[in-house]
Amino acid sequence: MAQNDTPTPSHFIRDIIEEHNKINRFGGKVITRFPPEPNGYLHIGHAKAICLDFGMAKEYGGRCHLRFDDTNPTKEEQEYVDSIMEDVRWLGFDWGKHLYFASDYFDRLYDYAVQLIKAGKAYVDDLSADEIREYRGTLTAPGKGSPYRNRSVEENLDLFARMRAGEFPDGSKTLRAKIDMASPNLNMRDPVMYRIRKAEHHRTGDKWCIYPMYDWAHGQSDSIEGITHSMCTLEYEDHRPLYDWYLDQLGIHHPQQIEFARLNLTYTLMSKRRLLTLVEKGHVTGWDDPRMPTLAGLRRRGYTPEAIRDFCERIGVAKSNSTVDIALLEHCLREDLNKRAPRMMAVLRPLKLVIENYPEDQVEELEAVNNPEDPSAGTRQAPFSRVLYIEQDDFRENPPKKYFRLFPGNEVRLRYAYIVKCTGVVKDEKTGEIIEVRCTYDPATKSGSGQEGKKVKGTIHWVSAAQAIPAEVRLYDHLFTKPNPDEVEGGQDFTVNINSNSLETLPSSRLEPSLAGATPGNFYQFERQGYFCVDAKDSSSARLVFNRTVTLRDTWAKIEKKDGK
């Protein structure tokens, strides 16, 4: 049980493990694995699987392996292996010495295949991929046996050895399991176990020219590692009978496979293939683009591992597919950052504010609270002077109704400072654009002085122009315009739903000087603007770049309130 005051709600996987422990199915052991294919970066959906695989093992005093299911030589790369290890560690999990690769088992898998051939349970087929598909039949029509199905054991052993030795061209032969061409489960209609592919593998080099199919490798890899509970997503439910068949034929350790619903999120796509398309077609700047649902992207955006783990805990584990509102993920993030992010003042779209009656060369250090949620975070000094920057949005020459910020004749409080009254504006002679707002201040209204004087309706943030640090600030919106990015008209693909306004770059923001030492990995709340972090890739001492992690508007909290949760 999790070590906090609210007990973790149970779920069916925990129930299954409890039952196994009760009947002593695996001697009380819980050994799980997270088995990514290294053909892309991990995404938030993988985080759900990681939290479950590592979480269950930890909860029951077992262990979780990290195993790369690297059976496909042409799509897999070391870059992906490295990023996956980095991301799992970042999320807070540790596989210890239990790092494995399915490719380490290629010899054993080959021997297992020979064992099946000898038992008359596998044969070498000369049908092409297209013919195999045609012979397989459909959900309503049974398949028919390949003409090569009844080759003798000797012939199959000889051909399989020669396949391995590289005697035959790619695609000319396969090794297939001999199961049942009339099975209602298409996976059982003599599935392919090996194909010939003369391709270099990222770990085994050119040692092999035949490669095991995922379905042939996966269950046996679990078995070899002594996995007890093999958790995977629902689409593998129909493959379980096949995995069971292989293990039973071979007579080796038999893990329990348990399927759960994959995570789907609104405004988000999670297939690695689609994410690769976004990267390759240049719709994003890379796998770690802060708009990507990859762990690398979320990290760069400013997401914390704590928030992601909390999210995975809250969504729970179920047996039927559903889509989670992305507002919940953002809510978990706000809850985490609210507790620990220091508040700062930053003006994203600056407009000059000149205080006419403030002494020209005076600079006051004003006390600002670091985090109202955390008194131990203390206070800091913010310089105040005659020329400030405020947000363009906080001034209107012609204010709409209920506008309580600055406009000619109106008064507002400058956060941690004084009340100022707007006296007029200066406009660019040519364009008519407002380039400066003028005001006067009332020295008797200093914040925290005990004599703040009258109350005003608006409080706005500011930075002192001379001391402010210039920065580029990047604001993000969802990468897709539709809650379901897959919703397209006939013939279109998901890229038509890409949000062309998902990134807004503000090149001339101004930050209060306390942010001078900001480095990646620190989180801040810019008052009234949201949570921000330094961009780990593009920021430098010469040019600070901040990402907005998330705004302050919590739509999820509103939904919860409305539902009376």
Residues identified as active-site: 37, 262, 272
Burial of 306 by CB count in 10 Å (0-12 exposed, 13-18 middle, 19+ buried)?
middle
Residue type, position 379, single letter: T
Is residue 35 near ligand ATP by the rule CB under 6 A?
yes
Q: Which of 271, 449, 492, 540 binds ligand ATP (CB under 6 A)?
A: 271
Q: Are 291 and 476 in contact (CB under 8 A)?
A: yes
Query: Near ligand ATP by CB under 6 A, which window of 263-271, 364-372, 409-417, 520-528?
Result: 263-271
List of long-range contacts for 94-98, beta carbons under 8 Å, 24+ apart: 95/34, 95/63, 95/64, 95/65, 95/66, 96/63, 98/63, 98/64, 98/65, 98/66, 98/225
CA–CA distance, 457 with 434 (Å, rounded to integer): 24
Taking the complex as a whole, how short is the minimal distance between the CB of residue 221 and Mg ion, in angstroms?
13
* Three-state DSSP class for residue 497: helix
Find the binder of ligand ATP among 13, 17, 49, 479 (CB under 6 A): 49
Q: Which of 8, 185, 204, 233 binds ligand ATP (CB under 6 A)?
A: 233
Nearer to ligand ATP, 73 or 383 (CB): 73
Does residue 270 belong to the site contacting ligand ATP (CB under 6 A)? yes
Which residue has the CB atom at the shortest distance from ligand ATP? 45
Roughly how many angstroms between the first and final C-alpha of the chain, as a whole number? 23
CB of 494 to ligand ATP, least distance (A): 14
Smallest gap from residue 49 Cβ to ligand ATP (A): 4
Query: Bridge-partner residues for 411, per DSSP?
Result: 421
Options 197, 262, 349, 478; binder of ligand ATP; rule CB under 6 A: 262
Residues constituting the chain = 565
CA angle 381, 405, 330 (to 5 degrees): 70
Which member of 17, 20, 32, 48 binds ligand ATP (CB under 6 A)? 48
Residue 239 binding target from ligand ATP, Mg ion, none, CB below 5 to 8 Å by type: none
Q: How far is the CB of 363 from ligand ATP (least distance, A)?
A: 53
Is 37 among the residues that bind ligand ATP (CB under 6 A)?
yes
Residue 457 in tokens:
């309706």
Q: Determine the Cα–Cα distance for residues 539 and 525; give it in Å rounded to an integer.
A: 18
Nearer of residues 281 and 553 to ligand ATP, judged by Cβ: 281
State yes or no: residue 36 binds ligand ATP (CB under 6 A): yes
- Contact of residue 46 among ligand ATP, Mg ion, none (CB under 5-8 Å per partner type): ligand ATP
Position of minimal CB gap to Mg ion: 37
Q: Smallest gap, in angstroms, from Cβ of residue 412 to ligand ATP?
A: 47
> Quick one: which of 141, 107, 124 has its CA closest to 192?
124
Residue type, 51: C
Which residues, other chains included, contact 48 with Cβ-Cβ below 8 Å and sequence gap of 6+?
262, 263, 312, 315, 317
To ligand ATP, the closest distance from the beta carbon of 236 in angstroms equals 7
| Beta carbons of 234 and 293 less than 8 angstroms apart | no
Which residue among 263, 279, 406, 545 contacts ligand ATP (CB under 6 A)? 263
Residue 450, token pair as written in the block? 């005990």
Is residue 277 at the binding interface for ligand ATP, with CB under 6 A as the rule?
A: no
Q: Which is nearer to ligand ATP, 270 or 434 (CB)?
A: 270
Residue 46 near ligand ATP by CB under 6 A: yes
CB of 214: closest distance to ligand ATP in angstroms?
8
Among 109, 175, 179, 232, binds ligand ATP (CB under 6 A): 232
Q: Are strands 322-324 and 463-464 parallel, antiparallel or unpaired?
A: unpaired
| Contact residues for ligand ATP, defined by CB under 6 A | 35-37, 45-46, 48-49, 232-233, 262-263, 270-272
